[in-house]
């Protein structure tokens, strides 16, 4: 694991994100949270608890079937089932991802959500925004902006006790 930068304190970032989201959802009646597997899903789970959002308003999606690099890379080996227990039609959705980078994952996630129904609005919360967008996507809530090299990736980990950590790793 190459560490070019001091690793940020993921727990601190989470608390910052939570504060932003909490403030930002004040005027939104009955929001639902959807986390993108895997990092976004962990964050969404914790956010739901901390925001008092019930389990049946919390969903997870795996964007593998909507990615735009299927032709080059094929299907990933570890596709997880998506789970949306609420009606997407008319919903106000907080989409949660761990790292916002090119914007392609967000595009895939939105496409997938729209195949479930027509939401009233979709907001995006990301723990880290590393810039270098390739699509016109912006997050509504971001805890930290970080720049890393092209050959590096920012990885969120969740320990057995639920603690988050962030590492900067050599991209595979």
Partner 1 sequence: MLPNPQLNQHGELQHLLTIEGLPKEVLTHILDTAASFVSVSDREVKKVPLLRGKSVFNLFFENSTRTRTTFEIAAKRLSADVINLNIAASSTSKGESLLDTIDNLTAMQADMFVVRHAQSGAPFLIAKHLRDTGREHVHVVNAGDGRHAHPTQGLLDMYTIRHYKHDFTKLKVAIVGDVLHSRVARSDIHALVTLGVPEVRVIGPHTLLASNLEQMGVRVFTDINQGLKDVDVIIMLRLQNERMNGALLPSAQEYFKSYGLTPERLALAKPDAIVMHPGPMNRGVEIDSAVADGSQAVILPQVTYGIAVRMAVMGILGGS
154 DSSP β-pair partners: 168
Q: Which of residues 79-98 bind partner 1 (CB under 8 A)?
A: 79-84
Q: Is 166 in contact with 154 (CB distance < 8 Å)?
A: yes
120 binds partner 1 (CB under 8 A): no
Closest by alpha carbon to 125, among 54, 20, 23?
A: 20
56 binds partner 1 (CB under 8 A): no
One of 20, 92, 102, 111 touching partner 1 (CB under 8 A): 111
Which residue is associated with the tokens 């989201």? 21
Q: Which residues of 2-17 are buried (b: 16+ CB within 10 A; e: fewer)?
A: eeeeeebebeebbebb
Stretch that binds partner 1, among 5-13, 25-33, 67-75, 147-155 (CB under 8 A): 67-75
Shortest Cβ 130–partner 1 spacing (Å): 26
135 binds partner 1 (CB under 8 A): no
Contact residues toward partner 1 (CB under 8 A) are 62, 64-66, 70-71, 73-75, 77-84, 111-112, 114-117
């Amino acid at each position: 694991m190459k560490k070019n930068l001091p690793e940020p304190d993921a727990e601190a970032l989470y608390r910052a994100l939570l504060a932003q989201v909490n403030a930002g959802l004040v005027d939104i009646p009955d929001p639902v949270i959807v986390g993108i597997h895997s990092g976004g899903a962990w964050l969404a789970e914790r956010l739901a608890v901390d925001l008092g959002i019930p389990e049946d308003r919390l969903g997870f999606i795996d964007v593998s079937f909507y990615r735009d690099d299927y032709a080059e890379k094929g299907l990933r080996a570890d596709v997880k089932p998506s789970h949306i227990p609420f009606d997407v039609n008319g919903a106000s959705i907080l989409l949660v991802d761990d790292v916002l980078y090119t914007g392609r994952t967000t595009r895939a996630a939105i496409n997938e959500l729209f195949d479930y129904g027509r939401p009233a609005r979709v907001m995006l919360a990301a723990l880290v925004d590393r810039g270098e967008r390739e699509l016109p996507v912006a997050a509504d809530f971001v805890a930290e902006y970080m720049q890393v090299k092209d050959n590096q990736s920012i990885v969120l980990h969740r320990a057995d006790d639920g603690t988050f950590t962030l590492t900067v790793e050599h991209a595979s």
